[in-house]
Amino acid sequence: MINYMFLRPVVLTALKVALFVGTVLALINHGPALLAMALSREQVLQIALTYVVPYGVSTYSSVKILQNQSDRPHNPNPG
């Protein structure tokens, strides 16, 4: 699994997903505090985790797909 985690396409995709999803969730959950620039340390930690979770989910799903592809024999003419 670790062999795939640091592949450039996996990392770039996970970063894009984390940036988009994390930003949307941070705005939903902490919008007023973000706009007022009045964030507690706890909120900053929560926002950081809001980006970590989608990164991890995206990485996990990409790695599982790559593992499943490598476990199957290549068939250039499916069907």
Q: What is the mean pLDDT of residues 54-75?
A: 89
CA distances from 35 to 20, 30, 42, 49, 67 (A): 18, 9, 17, 19, 42
Residue 41 lies in a domain: yes
Instruction: Give how many domains the chain has, as a whole number.
Output: 1
Residue 19 lies in a domain: yes
Residue 47 lies in a domain: yes
Per-residue confidence (pLDDT) for residue 22, from 0 to 100: 97
4, 63 contact by CB (below 8 A): yes
Residue 17 lies in a domain: yes
Residue 24 lies in a domain: yes
CA distances from 70 to 6, 18, 43 (A): 16, 26, 41
Q: Is the pLDDT confidence value at 1 over 60?
A: yes
Domain that holds residue 43: 2-69
Residue 13 lies in a domain: yes
| 19-37 confidence digits (pLDDT tens) | 999 999 999 999 999 999 9
| Predicted structure pTM score | 0.82
Per-residue confidence (pLDDT) for residue 76, from 0 to 100: 62
Q: Which of 13, 16, 22 is nearest to 60 (CA)?
A: 13
Q: How many angstroms separate the first and last alpha carbons of the chain?
A: 29
